[in-house]
Amino acid sequence: MTKTYSIGVLNGDDIGHEVVPETIRAMKAAVEKEGIDVDWQDVPIGRAAYDSLGTTMPDGTLDRLRQLDGWVLGPIGHREYPDDAMAINPHPILRKQFELHSNIRPSRALKGLPSIHPETDLVIVRENIEGFQPDRNVVAGCGEFRPTHDTTISVRVITRKNSRAVAISAFELARRRQRKVTAVHKNTVFKLGCGMFAEECRKVAEEYPDVEFNEVIVDTFAMRVVMKPTDFDVVVTTNMFGDILSDLTAGLVGGLGLAPGLSAGDTHAMAQATHGSAPDISGRGIANPYAMIVSGAMLLDWLGQKNRDDRLHRAADAIVSSIESVFEQDGVMTPDLGGTASTVEVGERVADRILEVGS
């Protein structure tokens, strides 16, 4: 029997309520065209859930997500949450609960749009649930503490398990791209932490003899990628380094509005753009949906890999090619890119383009 996929829809906060619906619009058009059955399930989360249910992470949300194949999560504006124990940041909880060890963040320049390097096309694969981030690197307590008023200590956690998992994600992705993986670390200083990460990357590299592998120290990489991004294809790195470097590479291609992302584990995946919830433009209908829409395509592609379903790959490709055509050929873009279109107008045109292609 043909599988019915179940995908959660979590709008998040602020512009999430504008860009996520357009993402689902594009995803629905693509899967329907391929004859793929999807059960779309709305799941409450974030400030809207807090205002209506008294908590940003309602009871049962995690159990519901566990039953799904994946979900689309809009940006979370947790910095604006009230000072309340029930107003927690859902990000680290979702990543830790579902062991979403690999955060995949592409940076690709689009034709005709301003960019520092028009030829940029690379992907940062970032370890996602350990490292320096104190909200997710320990099971109980916090990885950051202050023993005296004048001293703060931050703990960095690196494990062989997650280092290997994120390396495998990078090499598998490279096999579908240019077959080149660069491990970025600082083992010259962090001899044990980065040293362990590098060791696991080297071990995985031996299992992929068809993929070129090299290593670059993080500060050197920051310089080289700005000067010549075409030297790199798939870049695998630790959590904090990846968080910073993926914003840097987004800057090469036009900013966070063009920076999609996918947090993936062995059993679940979450589409989530790199950008924040942008409360300053919320409700104005001008938010750029590109990053969120392409994140949705990445989720479909991941499901295609997991389930060996080529229809999902075709659906994902149709979304990406359609939104790029809408921008590059039709010139239908939001104001941040120099256009005049609204968020909804972009979403509608993308969905129309998906249905037009090959018809």
| pLDDT above 60: residue 359 | no
Instruction: Quickly tell me which residue has 């005296």 as its tokens.
Output: 148
For residues 38 and 4, give the distance between their C-alpha atoms in angstroms, rounded to a whole number: 5
pLDDT of residue 140: 73
For residue 124, give the H/E element and its range: strand 121-127
State residue 228 phi and psi, 5-degree precision. -150, 80
Q: Give mean pLDDT, residues 60-89.
A: 92
pLDDT of residue 315: 97
pLDDT of residue 202: 98
32-63 residue pLDDT tens: 999 999 999 999 999 999 999 999 999 899 99
At residue 78 the predicted structure's pLDDT band, cuts being 50, 70 and 90, is: confident
pLDDT of residue 28: 98
Q: Do the beta carbons of residue 30 and residue 300 sit within 8 Å?
A: yes
DSSP state of 287: -
For residues 279 and 97, give the distance between their C-alpha atoms in angstroms, rounded to a whole number: 27
Angle between helices 290-307 and 310-328 (to 10 degrees): 160
SS3 content of the chain, % helix, strand, coil (to 5): 45, 20, 40
pLDDT of residue 142: 79
**0.85 exceeded by pTM:** yes
Q: Is 288 helix (H, G, I), strand (E, B) or coil?
A: coil
Q: Give mean pLDDT, residues 7-21.
A: 96
Q: What angle do CA 313, 98, 241 make, to 5 degrees?
A: 80
pLDDT of residue 103: 97
Sheet holding 262-264, edge to edge: 37-42, 4-10, 70-73, 269-271, 262-264, 102-108, 121-127, 234-237, 180-185, 212-217
Q: Do the beta carbons of residue 5 and residue 34 sit within 8 Å?
A: no
pLDDT of residue 1: 59
pLDDT of residue 131: 85
Q: What is the largest CA-CA distance in the chain?
A: 67
245-298 residue pLDDT tens: 999 999 999 998 999 999 999 999 999 999 999 999 999 999 999 999 999 999
Q: Give mean pLDDT, residues 319-334.
A: 93
- Please give the structure tokens belonging to residue 349: 């045109």
% of residues, the chain, pLDDT over 90: 84
At residue 80 the predicted structure's pLDDT band, cuts being 50, 70 and 90, is: confident
Q: Mean pLDDT over all residues of the chain?
A: 94
pLDDT of residue 358: 59
210-221 residue pLDDT tens: 999 999 999 999
84-113 residue pLDDT tens: 989 999 888 899 899 999 999 999 999 888
Cβ count within 10 A of residue 122:
24
